[in-house]
Copies of this chain bind each other. A is one copy, B any other.
Amino acid sequence: MANKKIVIDIYGSDEGPLSVVKGTILLLNAHSEVDVILVGDENLIVPILDEANIAKDRYKIIHTTEAITNADNIMEAFFNKPKASVILAIQELANNDETIGMLSPGNSGAIIVGSIKYLSTPEFTRPCIAAVLPVGANNKFTCLVDTGSTNDCQASQLHQFARLGSDLIRKLYKINSPKVALLCNGTEDTKGNKLTKETFKILKEDSTINFVGNIEANSVMGGDIDVLVTDGFDGNIFLKTIEGSFAKVIKDIFVYAKKNNSEDAMKIGKSLLSTYDISAIGGGIVLGARKFIIKCRGNSREITYLNTGEMLLRIDNDEDLYNLQNN
């Protein structure tokens, strides 16, 4: 059987393209059943792969040195920068039937626009980016939609996010009726801002969704819900607040461990780090498109490309996404 092919866009990481290529090597070495299609400067890519003794038949390169940056206007970039790596990568994903998915640390907006342009489905008007978060106990997780692809949302979009998140959870975790909640400033039906109040009504009326109502941010970690719906701006704040809070507590523990020469404290710190290091998992899953793209965090590290590559493999196999940090 032919190897599964994953498209990897090497531009857009805060750590630079080298880090993405090195991460790709981790993925190739760990998974002999995977080949990659790298999109970026071949003069940069080939020497690194050669040095790592990666066989020529494990990869293909689509050469380009152009990239869309945060300074670009996304809509204009699709006209002015047709050779931008993220565009070429999505085109390859769309046109090459052997590809199972794509990884990119690039601009979220560009990934969404590219998905609409080349990978749209008749059912959904605009894809969103989901994150699977470790919550509660016993490997419980919650799918957060949207994590940042659309900042100013309409209620109808949040409705689509709820459906897309439910679909993902149903598929991967064999949960028939995933519990959907709306991120809000209170649990009462009357709480919320204009957007969530309007969304609340729509979700309540959709019998295909198991809508359980509003949820407050401090309850999400309890693990009682499967899908957390919010607009991209708030999803981004929610996700990054968790990350910042965990980082702060874990740092405090390491400081204590060093100061008191405590093995136990060091052990706890390391264990928490592996459980809650979101930047290592580091990928948002684009939902609502024909194929899966994982948008890697801008601050992704090399390990992220192994983890998100495995995430794609698990999605392709309808397997549990959790516990990626066990690598």
- Which chain A residues have a beta carbon within 8 Å of chain B's beta carbons? 70-71, 135, 148, 151-152, 183, 185-186, 188, 190-194, 196, 216-222, 231-234, 236-250, 252-253, 256, 260, 262, 264-265, 268, 271-272, 275-276
Pick from B135, B151, B190, B218: contact of A241, CB below 8 A: B218
Q: How far is the CA of A276 from the CA of B249 in the complex (A)?
A: 9
In angstroms, Cα B69 to Cα A190, docked, is 12
7 A-B interface contacts by CB (under 8 A)? A151-B194, A217-B241, A221-B247, A237-B237, A246-B249, A256-B268, A265-B265
Chain multiplicity (copies): 2
Known A217-B240, A241-B241: A148·B185 in contact at CB below 8 Å: yes
A256 near B271: Cβ-Cβ < 8 Å: yes
Main secondary structure of the interface of A (DSSP, over half): helix
Q: Which interface residue of A151, A238, A247 has the most chain B CB atoms within 10 A?
A: A151
Residues from chain B with a CB closer than 8 A to the CB of A148 are 185
7 A-B pairs with the lowest CB-CB distances in the bound complex, closest first: A245-B245, A217-B240, A218-B244, A218-B240, A151-B193, A185-B236, A241-B241
Identify A264's interface contact among B152, B188, B262, CB under 8 A. B262
Contact B264 A185 (CB under 8 A): no
Once the chains bind, are B245 and A241 in contact (CB under 8 Å)?
A: yes
Does the CB pair A234–B234 fall under 8 Å?
yes
B268 touches A245 (CB 8 A): no
**Across the interface, do A190 and B71 meet the contact criterion of CB distance under 8 Å?**
yes
Residue from A238, A239, A275 having most chain B Cβ neighbours under 10 A: A238
A276 partner residues in chain B, CB cutoff 8 A = 249
9 more A-B residue pairs beyond the given contacts A151-B193, A242-B245, A260-B264, with a C-beta to C-beta distance below 8 A: A70-B190, A185-B233, A217-B243, A221-B244, A221-B245, A234-B237, A249-B250, A253-B253, A265-B268
Q: How far is the CB of A76 from chain B (nearest CB, A)?
A: 13
Instruction: Please tell me which one of the listed residues B152, B218, B250, B253 contacts residue A194 in the complex, with CB atoms under 8 A apart.
Output: B152
| Chain B residues within an 8 Å CB radius of A265 | 264-265, 268
Contact B151 A185 (CB under 8 A): yes
Best-surrounded residue of A71, A243, A250 (most CB of chain B within 10 A): A243
Contact between A246 and B245, CB atoms less than 8 A apart: yes
* Whole-angstrom distance between the Cβ of A170 and the nearest chain B Cβ: 26
Contacts A183-B237, A264-B264: A272 and B243 contacting too (C-beta < 8 A)? no
